[in-house]
Amino acid sequence: MIIPSDLKYTENDEWIKIEGDTGTVGITDYAQDQLSDVVFVEIFAEPDETLGAGDACAAVESVKAAADVYLPAGGTIIEINEDLLETPELVNSDPYGEAWMVKIALSDASQLDALLDAAAYEKHCEERSA
């Protein structure tokens, strides 16, 4: 299970990469493994839209499951990854790289404190697999 140490995580299997005031959001390796072959990704957040922490920004669908993706922290949408519409399988092959979903301008950096670090997220995954 790949869990990059420089990211922060939610219990709902989203990751966020912080670069200054910008956050990039996607779903984790654990999530894509649980879903198995992803067939469709819908990003319904739009550029310039402001959403809060916990708001749904996208939906991911595989043959056996469908899941909503929630923002780990609130902010204004800067960019959405349109490639995922054509090649949803990127979520399986490169969940932390090419399968990023949205980039946001963070509205409140203190919200990041509530998130899990890599070690805590790893523990969370282990507890669920038991």
Partner 1 sequence: MAEHLMCELSVPGRRGFQFPDSDVPEVKLPEGMLRDDLPLPEMAEIDVVRYFTRLSQLNHSVDTGFYPLGSCTMKYNPKINEEAARIPGFANLHPLQPVETTQGALAMMYHLQQWLSEIGGYQATSLQPAAGAHGELTGVLIIRAYHRSRGDTKRNKILVPDSAHGTNPATSAMSGLEVVELRSDDRGNVDIEALREHCNDTLAGLMLTNPNTLGLFDENVEQVTGMVHEAGGLIYGDGANMNALLGILRPGDIGIDVLHYNLHKTFSTPHGGGGPGSGPVSVTEELADFLPDPVVGIIDEGDESNNIPPLYGFITPPKTIGRMKAFQGHFGMIVRAFTYIRMHGPDGLRKVSEYAVLNANYLLALLRDHYHVPFDRICMHEFVAEGRWEDAPEIHALDVAKRLMDFDFHPPTNYFPLIVHESLMIEPTETESKETLDAFARTMIRIAEEARSEPEILKTAPHKTPFGRLDEVKAAKELVLCCVPQFAR
Partner 2 sequence: MFTPHTKDDLEAMLETIGVASIDDLFKCLPAEHKYHQLDLPPALTEMEVLTELRDIAWANDTAQELVSFLGAGAYNHYTPAVVDSILRRGEFYTAYTPYQPEISQGTLQAIFEYQSLIAGLTGMDVCNASHYDGATAVAEAVNMAYHNFRGKRPKVVLSPAVHPHYRQTVRTYTQDSDIILSGDQGEVDLKAGPEALVPLIDETTGLVVVAYPDFFGRIYDFTALAEAVHEAGALLAVSVNPMALGILKTPGEMGADIVTGEGQSLGIPLSYGGPYLGLFATRQKYVRKMAGRLAGETVDNRGQRAYVLTLTAREQHIRRDRATSNICTNQGLLALAATVYLSLLGKHGLRQVSTLCYQKAHYAADQINKLPGFELWSGQFFFNEFLVKCPQPAHEISDHLMEHNLLAGYPVGKDYPGMENYLLIAVTEMNTKEDIDWLVSGLEEVTNG
Provide the minimum distance between the beta carbon of 89 and partner 1 in the complex, in angstroms, as a whole number: 8
* Positions in the binding site for partner 1 (CB under 8 A): 37, 39-40, 61-63, 88
User: Reduced to 3 states, what is the DSSP secondary structure of residue 127?
Assistant: helix
Name the residue among 77, 99, 96, 74 with its Cα closest to residue 7.
Answer: 96
Touching partner 2, residues 36-95 (CB under 8 A)? 40, 42, 44, 61-66, 68
Nearer Cβ to partner 2 (67/116) = 67
Pick what 88 binds: partner 1, partner 2, none; C-beta below 5 to 8 Å, kind-dependent: partner 1
Name the residue among 56, 50, 43, 45 with its Cα closest to residue 99.
Answer: 43
Token couple for 50: 């402001």
Touching partner 2, residues 89-128 (CB under 8 A)? none
